[in-house]
Structure 1
């Protein structure tokens, strides 16, 4: 059984016992292509593999303790931490999503999943988990919150490209009258008074791409 004393934060008096179970988990973490982490039973992070530090640019050991939360978007830190602490209390699987700051200061969505591990006598030893890239998650989430219907978005997309109702109707395969109805409905939902404003508002809200 090995021991590792922390020296890089205000809880430097904490001694981490690297028993065979944790050493085995760490061995797996070091070989994983994902960002893998290990915690103690109270949620205190005792290890992040090199992939985490390569991605975030944090200094070695900086993610230990609660240091990992500093790499999260400020709006996601508290929810992510609370979700994790809630999972540890229930000894259940931890599953959440948050924006993680990359080494170039760009934020990327990741999915974090953690599972409890137990000591030979059945006590909670802590959690082992991973963070994986979730590119496209923000887009899919935004679409889920969209105020326009799929057809309205399609119509507005063509309107934004300068197509008339007649031209859009031929492209989409519906009548000009139906196109105009979708345009009017979209204008009401987005608070637009003309087609130009409709295109601007739709693009601003991520309903369409220009």
Structure 2
């Protein structure tokens, strides 16, 4: 198959590109650095020529729900319209487990992305995954200094590599709508994960809302389980 990965130069996107190529697929990387802009559509028709499936792992780092919504709406509409013109057969989107139970601005933006994809002109699959093991390291690096503030989140962390593998597997098949959730093999507190990485720094837990603290980010029903535990990921990363 010929697959395109939107956001393919990001840290998740690179894993998806790697997994797709390992599976024998011809991969097109959609990113600004490769001359494709999802906000304007520049270069998109050329990039999608002959593409069978698109995996969208684009992201925007912002605390503003308005900014996030504008980005996901623009990028998704632009991408779907170009896919329709190029006769792409399958659109796959990465989303978040619990996105329908947490009402933060970013989560509302991701819900909007899901809605547009599932109602769009190209058959679509949405994969909701739990927080990545790597998210703990991202939280640790966001605030300089010896004291780290971590939201009181209960999660079932999954390796980003496991998510990449599942996205490619789904893209190889027919559109499924909302796919079975993907979560990690164990339930952990985010603060405990960050402390494992902190190496002497003081980690303080701060409120993140009743939903996140109470398990809204855990799969509510059937889910597929990733194979890599946090301890295994931590050992490999060190």
TM-score range with shorter-chain normalisation? Answer: under 0.3
TM-score, normalised with respect to structure 1: 0.24
Structure exhibiting the larger radius of gyration computed from Cα positions: 1
TM-score, normalised with respect to structure 2: 0.22
